[in-house]
């Protein structure tokens, strides 16, 4: 995590919850309220509540539960409350039930796909050990570090290319015809109704690279 964040010049904090043991308690909700308030967040990105991984699901639910409480002064009074909720964005997934993912915001990552692959490559146990083992394709992971990164990079590019192709109309709407048609790699986000509403005229406030 530390090396990945160093590459992206991001700060991080790991809360004290064991892998696979997260649950949407009031204590977790309050942890998130305090941190979101302290950061004065305008945008919070998380998973959808119907994600496959329980830790992902319960994180999404905890963020959902915290969203309104961020503006309530009597909740976690030691952390100054926000005057308005942040926009909450859900990360893309392929789950259909109870409702499919909606790509409200689609972002070009053509200029940062290499950096993203560098960041993914830092998570050795996740992308080269556990996930291949879980998917029963661990024999496909190259032994050489350079080849292994190329293998991972092709997977990341395939997914990002698929997102761009499937959401081409949205890219054109957000970036304009000439730029939108030429985007090769993209990521998509769904705006949660539990956070602040995001209207297209306000997109540049959080996503200033849209034309």
What's the CATH code of the domain at 33?
A: 3.40.50.10320
Q: Same domain for 113 and 68?
A: no
- Answer yes or no: is 201 within a domain: no
Distance CA 72, CA 111 (A): 40
127/148 Cα distance (integer angstroms): 10
Q: Domain check: are 1 and 89 in the same one? A: yes
128-147 pLDDT, tens per residue? Answer: 999 999 999 999 999 988 99
Q: Is residue 201 very low, low, confident or very high in pLDDT (cuts 50, 70, 90)?
A: confident
pLDDT above 90 (res 182): yes
pLDDT at 203: 83
Check whether residue 11 and residue 57 sit in a common domain: yes
Please check the confidence at residue 191 and state whether its pLDDT lies above 90: yes
Domain containing residue 113 = 109-187
162 shares a domain with 144: yes
Same domain? 25 vs 5: yes
Q: How far apart are CA 180 and CA 178, in angstroms?
A: 6
Q: DSSP assignment, residue 35?
A: H
Mean pLDDT across the chain, nearest whole number? 94
Contact 4, 122 (CB under 8 A): yes
Domain finish residue from 76, 101, 126: 101
Domain count of the fold of the chain: 2
Q: Based on the fold, state whether residues 132 and 94 are members of the same structural domain.
A: no
8, 94: one domain: yes
Instruction: Report DSSP state, residue 85.
Output: P
Rounded average pLDDT over 162-181: 96
Phi, psi of 22 (to 5 degrees): -70, 145
Are residue 121 and residue 80 in the same domain, yes or no?
no
**Predicted TM-score of the model (pTM):** 0.92
Q: Is residue 203 part of a domain?
A: no
Pairing relationship of beta strands 87-91 and 105-108 according to DSSP bridges: unpaired
Length of the chain: 211
Residue that is last in its domain, among 47, 73, 101: 101
């Amino acid at each position: 995590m530390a090396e990945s964040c160093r590459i992206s010049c991001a700060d991080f904090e790991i809360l004290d919850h064991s892998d696979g043991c997260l649950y949407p308690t009031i204590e977790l909700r309050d942890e998130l309220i305090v941190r979101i308030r302290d950061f004065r967040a305008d945008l919070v990105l998380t998973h959808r509540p119907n994600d496959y991984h329980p830790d992902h699901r319960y994180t999404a639910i905890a963020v959902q539960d915290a969203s309104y409480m961020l503006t309530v002064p009597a909740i976690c009074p030691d952390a100054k409350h926000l005057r308005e909720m942040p926009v909450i964005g859900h990360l893309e997934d392929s789950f259909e039930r109870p409702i499919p993912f909606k790509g409200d915001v689609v972002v070009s990552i053509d200029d940062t796909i290499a950096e993203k692959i560098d960041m993914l490559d830092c998570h050795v146990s996740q992308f080269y050990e556990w996930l291949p083992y879980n998917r029963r394709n661990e024999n496909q992971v190259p032994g050489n570090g350079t080849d292994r990164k190329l293998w991972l990079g092709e997977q990341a590019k395939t997914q990002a290319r698929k997102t761009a192709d499937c959401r081409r109309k949205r890219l054109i709407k957000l970036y304009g015809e000439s730029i939108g048609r030429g985007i090769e790699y993209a990521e998509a986000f769904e705006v949660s109704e539990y956070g602040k509403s995001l209207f297209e005229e306000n997109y540049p406030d959080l996503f200033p690279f849209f034309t």
